[in-house]
Amino acid sequence: MIKVWGRKTSSNVQALMWCIGELGLPFTRYDIGHKYGGNNTAEFLSMNPNGTVPVIKDGDSAPIWETGAILRYLANRYAKAPFWPEDFVARTHIDKWAEWSKINIALNFTAPIFWRVVRTAPQHQDQEEIAKAIYKLGNMLNIAEMQLEKHKFIAGDYFTLADIQFGHILYRYFDIKINRPMHPEIINYYDRLTERHAFREYVMVSYEELRII
Ligand SMILES: N[C@@H](CCC(=O)N[C@@H](CS)C(=O)NCC(=O)O)C(=O)O
């Protein structure tokens, strides 16, 4: 049984839960972090000195933190091709897109855009900074758009671990009120993701509890 520490409104927890859902793994999840607290206790810090979520334990395993490492752990242990092939070259190309998505998409969206729009009171929102951040993310999304013109999924023709790292951001990206650049292939891709049960269950989650009004 996998134990997950992390609130369901955390985008990193959402990525991990989506992966657990896709792989059909049994789990118990504890609401930790943000309004639930619990991430600055000695007990939690002994699992993750960063005080961040998610953290998992798999059976008697030592605690694992860092979402990218958790996703790779789950894939290495429980997944198979095409989601996470054994062939290390094929796997590396999937990992390349997963890593790219974490650094260029998730990090350019969450704090610079999502926090500025949802986790900042409207009267304090800096529209110029938001527009600049959308432009910067848009340049990264142009690369994803080109990839999705050629392929059904972000790392190729099959759903893989890279789609978890790329796609989990898209619910919030398309849901918040911003002026988005045109990316028709990403919209088609996003529509395909919304047909996945685990995506709807663990990613398309209300973020209203995070909103500053
Ligand atoms: N690099 C870490 C970042 C973890 C992180 O920043 N988590 C956020 C939630 S997405 C957090 O714990 N925030 C504090 C809180 O929820 O109280 C990872 O990828 O897991």
Ligand 1 pocket list (CB less than 6 A): 10-12, 33-34, 39, 52-53, 66-67
Nearest-atom number in ligand 1 for the CA of 102 is 19
What is the per-residue pLDDT for 71?
98
Q: Is residue 209 part of a domain?
A: no
pLDDT of residue 90: 98
Per-residue pLDDT at 213: 93
In a domain, 208, yes or no: no
Do 104 and 152 have their domain in common?
Answer: yes
Q: Are residues 100 and 54 in the same domain?
A: no
- Residues 6 and 35 grouped into a single domain: yes
The domain boundary, picked from 50, 78, 106, lies at 78
Q: Which residue has the tokens 């900074």?
A: 129
Whichever domain contains 21, its CATH number is 3.40.30.10
Q: How many residues does the chain have?
A: 213
b/e per residue 45-82 (b: at least 16 CB within 10 A): eebbeebbbbbbebeeeeebbbbbebbbbbbeebbeee
pLDDT score for 158: 98
- Rounded to the nearest whole angstrom, what is the distance from the C-alpha of residue 139 to the centroid of ligand 1? 25
Please report, for the domain that includes residue 117, its CATH number: 1.20.1050.10
pTM: 0.98
For the chain, which ranges sit under pLDDT 70?
A: none
Can you tell me whether residue 205 is helix, strand or coil?
Answer: coil
Scanning 40-183, the segments in alpha helix (DSSP H) are 42-47, 67-78, 88-100, 107-109, 116-117, 127-150, 161-167, 170-175
Number of domains in the chain: 2
Q: Given the CA of residue 12, which atom of ligand 1 is nearest to it?
A: 10
pLDDT of residue 45: 98
